Structure formats: C-alpha cells, structure tokens
C-alpha cells in the first residue's frame, strides 16, 4: 500500500517536471537555447535607400551568473554587420561608431534600441521587405552562437 502511494506521488512529480520543462523549452525556442543570453524583441528597420545600411535592435538578457559579451553578428544576404554605439558630443551632435564587443553583465540586460546601441547591417544584396523575417546569428564570447528571428518593420 505504502509503496503504491509513493509511486503515484513520484509520477505526479515527474509529470510536473515534464510540464515545466516543456514550458521552458517553448519559452526558449526563439532564443536558440536555455543557457546563456536570451534574446527578445528582435526587429530590423530596413535601409532608408539603396546603399544605405539597415539597423537591427534587440534585447539581450543574461540570466546566468557569468558575464558574457556579444562579439559579432551575421545576417544572410548582408556583407557585414557592425555593433554600433551611439554617442552625443559636447555640442549635442549625435554620432555613432563601431565597437568590437558589447558587454552583457551577469544577471544583466542590455537593450539595443534606436538612439542607443544597435546593429548596422551593411551591403545587403536584396532590400529587406517590411513584414518579412530575417535570421540574426549572434556570436557570444561565452555562450557561442545564438540564432534569433527578427521582424522587419519601420519602427
Ligand atoms: Cu550605426
């Protein structure tokens, strides 16, 4: 009798764990993994004209207890993608420049958004269509490659 009630308790626990794992897998499926940084709100603004760069924005959340850094990004059909930082000089003029790495602190969140950090997409062979999706391949120092789908939209 006793062993039967234990085994039914075990099966309830196993079921609960299975549901939790399934939920975690679903939540993580757009980020490419359960460990390392997770990516959310990824979107791409198409280029303003021919030979102009497109820009990509996203939010990186690092739930681990170890710092990581975004080192490089690639997008199919683009010759290069740069990680840019936006700065304002003493006269209030906004400018931007490429950075070689973007630190993501342990337990921290880094937002790439208009007016801040962003990805600059150079040399697109075909223009990005609003309403389509594009794959971003992000390479992190610690977590390795994380692939995420980004929506192409105007803002
Ligand atoms: Cu830029």
pLDDT tens profile 9-62: 555 555 555 555 555 544 444 444 446 799 999 999 999 888 899 999 999 999
pLDDT of residue 31: 43
Task: Report helix, strand or coil for 62.
Answer: coil
pLDDT of residue 101: 98
pLDDT of residue 49: 86
Tell me the C-alpha distance between 149 and 155, whole Å: 16
pLDDT of residue 126: 86
Looking at residues 136-142, what average pLDDT do you find?
97
What's the gap in Å between 137 CA and the centre of ligand 1?
18
What's the gap in Å between 136 CA and the centre of ligand 1?
16
> pLDDT tens digits, residue range 60-97?
999 999 999 999 999 999 999 999 999 999 999 999 99
Residues lining ligand 1 (ion), CB within 5 A? 84, 96, 120
What's the gap in Å between 19 CA and the centre of ligand 1?
42
pLDDT of residue 36: 78
What's the gap in Å between 116 CA and the centre of ligand 1?
9
What's the gap in Å between 83 CA and the centre of ligand 1?
7
Q: How many CB atoms lie within 10 A of CB 56?
A: 25
Task: Provide the residue ranges of all domains of the chain, joining segments of one domain with +.
Answer: 1-30, 38-152
pLDDT of residue 51: 85
> pLDDT tens digits, residue range 91-131?
999 999 999 999 999 999 999 999 999 999 999 988 899 99
Question: Considering the entire predicted model, what is its pTM?
Answer: 0.76
Chosen CATH of 38-152 out of 1.10.530.10, 1.10.10.10, 3.40.50.150, 2.60.40.1890? 2.60.40.1890
Tell me the C-alpha distance between 141 and 144, whole Å: 6
What's the gap in Å between 82 CA and the centre of ligand 1?
8
* 18 vs 139 pLDDT, higher one: 139
What's the gap in Å between 152 CA and the centre of ligand 1?
17
Tell me the C-alpha distance between 144 and 129, whole Å: 29
pLDDT of residue 151: 98
Tell me the C-alpha distance between 14 and 5, whole Å: 14
The alpha helices in the chain, defined as continuous H runs, are: 2-28
């Amino acid at each position: 009798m006793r062993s039967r009630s234990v085994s039914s308790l075990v099966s309830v626990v196993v079921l609960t764990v299975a549901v939790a794992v399934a939920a975690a897998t679903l939540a993580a499926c757009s980020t490419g993994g359960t460990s390392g940084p997770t990516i959310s709100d990824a979107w791409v603004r198409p280029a303003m004209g021919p030979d102009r760069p497109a820009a990509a924005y996203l939010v990186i959340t690092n739930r681990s207890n170890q710092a990581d850094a975004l080192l490089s990004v690639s997008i199919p059909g683009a010759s290069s993608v740069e990680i840019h930082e936006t700065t304002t000089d003493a006269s209030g003029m906004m400018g931007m420049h490429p950075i070689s790495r973007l630190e993501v602190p342990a337990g921290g969140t880094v937002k790439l958004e208009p007016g801040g950090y962003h990805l600059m997409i150079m040399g697109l062979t075909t223009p990005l269509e609003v309403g389509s999706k594009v794959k971003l391949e992000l390479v992190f120092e610690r977590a390795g490659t994380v692939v995420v789908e980004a929506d192409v939209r105007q803002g």
